[in-house]
Copies of this chain bind each other. A is one copy, B any other.
Amino acid sequence: MSSTADLFQKQLHETGVAIEALLERLLMAEALPGETTRPTRLLAAMRHGALGGGKRLRPFLLAESARLCGADPKAALLAGAALELVHCYSLVHDDLPAMDDDDLRRGRPTVHKVYDDAMAILAGDSLLTLAFDVMARPEIHPDAAVRLDLVLGLSRAAGLGGMAGGQALDLEAEGRYETDRKPLTLSESDIRQLQAMKTGALLLFAVEAGGILGRASAPTQNALKAYGRAVGAAFQIADDILDVEADTATLGKEAGKDADRGKGTLVQRLGLDAAKAERDRLARTALEALGIFGAEADMLRAIAHFIVKRGH
């Protein structure tokens, strides 16, 4: 297992480097056909929000499920970059004062702190728009129908019935729309649904997108979906556990803030020990879903291990 863990760290790092290079290229100063000009300040705000940070876990999930399904690795990386643009847009908007009001992200000032709220709103909007631009490009796949499946899947995962909807539910979970000042209590299943949308939908789509690119068979796609759902849920619980346990210095953001806001997390609902057990159970479910695959799924298996063990 140790050599798989080493290989995983190496592959994760290499994918991260490749994604950074692609994002750098996608956020060049030169205008593309159909664009007039790329305004300097807006582009700088977009670059601040997208470059130089993060594990690039979503692109890694996409690249590994694509490899498992025999898809072109170069195309999978570009699709991963499109997905990462959506993830970055969501962080830029979530950090805004009107939303989660965070000054730091990965130890650096957030986009609205460096620029301003207006430029952060527009930078987020433009990162999201660019994601669909990239997903529609011929380099993603020679078959237009495949690219359309990706565009459609991405929009459903990111929109009102997915990530953005989950963020809306999360704001409600804070109790900011309560009029009678009673503390809001979400059921366990409400919390699971909220998290399946807020972070789960995009993680699940990352895995599905690999299958779409590789034109995977139905059994393969179903196995990947079961894996993606479990990994997504485990990831969010692990994140909430870290938020409670970590301190500001090691995490690079204001730790414990989510709990202060009274947000609905499974850690809060079930307690820390039960949440850890649930995280581990979901990781096992993810591994079981991969049972139909051989060693070619070892990197996907390593992700499930990584989520359980990661320090930040």
Contacts and interface: CB of A to CB of B under 8 A. Distances in A.
A164 B122 contact: yes
A64 to B, nearest CB: 22
Is the interface on chain A under 10, 10 to 19, 20 to 34, or 35 or more residues? 35 or more
Copies in the complex: 2
Contact of A165 (B37, B99, B121, B144): B37
Contacts of A121: 93, 96, 98-99, 121
Interface stretch (A149-157, A264-272, A291-299): A149-157
A152 B166 CA distance: 27
Contact of A133 (B128, B156, B169, B177): B156
A129 B128 contact: yes
A246 interface: no
Given A151-B132, A165-B126, A156 B39 contact: no
Interface in A55-113: 89, 93, 96, 98-99
A281 interface: no
Nearest to A117: B98
A181 to B, nearest CB: 17
B169 A39 contact: yes
29 contacts: A31-B161, A34-B161, A36-B197, A37-B161, A37-B197, A38-B160, A38-B165, A39-B165, A39-B168, A39-B169, A39-B172, A41-B168, A42-B160, A42-B165, A42-B168, A43-B160, A98-B98, A98-B118, A98-B121, A118-B171, A119-B171, A125-B125, A129-B159, A129-B160, A130-B155, A132-B151, A133-B152, A136-B152, A144-B147
